[in-house]
Structure 1
């Protein structure tokens, strides 16, 4: 499996560590930078490229996921989610890393370099990469609703229970 990586200065140490770890564990890391420490770097430059790499690989039928790393992982997740077709999830525990794959078929995981130890973050990435998407119908349906909205800008229909209770925020 190919794993695209992008980060900012706060994630540089983890990214360097992960490249070696990924290689040792049979993955093919693709480093989108940064390549040197710069306290003023801009994470979108690197995280957008990592997320685009995942999409490009998947469009070619390749097995590919991504990892974006920052101080908290929040901005990096937001940046990755701006790439059409990407579902990026912030993982802060093994459970959130697992659920990102099992329930959301996330293609990119974001982790915070200042939130966990190197070993903890490596474990979050390991869990994310090793967890398959089982394809349960309810999760596929929900992912489809998001993908449809991303393509069309049209909100999914409200369920009858929301309409019956007068919980209309938008037209049904």
Structure 2
């Protein structure tokens, strides 16, 4: 499988470690940087490119995933999620890595290089790469809603149960606002 990598200075050590680990486990690595330590680098520069690489590969029918890494992983996740077609999940445990794939069909994972040991983060990535999407109808439906919104910017319709207690689809005011 092709794996796109991007990080910032706080994730550089893990990215370099993962590059070797991925190659040793028969993955094709596309490293979008950074390539040298720069304490003031900007994570969007590298994480957007990793996301674009995953999205382009998937648009061509290729089976690729991505990993973005920073200090906390939060900003890197936000950057990757700006790329149309990317669903990036922040993971902090094996369970969140599994659920990101099984339930959300995440195609990019974000990890915090200052939050866990290199061994833990490597395991999160390993679990993420090995876990397939469940194809469960409810998860397919939910991802479809996200994809439609991404393409059209139209909100999905509210379910009938959410309309009870509303006035024209808006929550009723109790007068205490």
TM-score range, shorter chain: over 0.9
- 1:101 is matched with 101
| Distance across 2 between alignment mates of 1:63 and 1:150 | 21
What is the TM-score normalised by the length of structure 2?
0.94
| Distance across 2 between alignment mates of 1:165 and 1:96 | 35
Q: CA deviation at 1:3?
A: 0.2
- 2:11 is matched with 11
- 1:76 is matched with 76
Deviation >6 Å, runs of 4+: none
| Distance across 1 between alignment mates of 2:102 and 2:40 | 36
What is the TM-score normalised by the length of structure 1?
0.96
Deviation string for 1:55-78 (max 9, x for gaps)?
111111111000000000000000
The structure number with the bigger radius of gyration is: 2
Q: CA deviation at 1:169?
A: 4.3
| Distance across 1 between alignment mates of 2:47 and 2:109 | 11
Deviation string for 1:105-164 (max 9, x for gaps)?
000000000000000000000000000002110000000001101111111000111112
Distance 1:148 1:20, change over 3 A: same
- 1:136 is matched with 136
1:33 and 2:33 are equivalent in the alignment: yes
| Distance across 2 between alignment mates of 1:87 and 1:25 | 24
| Distance across 2 between alignment mates of 1:61 and 1:129 | 17
Secondary structure of the 1:29 match is strand
- 1:88 is matched with 88
The alignment yields a C-alpha RMSD, in angstroms, of: 1.2
| Distance across 2 between alignment mates of 1:150 and 1:3 | 24
Query: Unmatched 5+ residue regions in structure 2?
Result: 172-177
Greater CA deviation, 160-169 or 12-21?
A: 160-169
Q: May I ask how many residue pairs the two structures share in their alignment?
A: 170
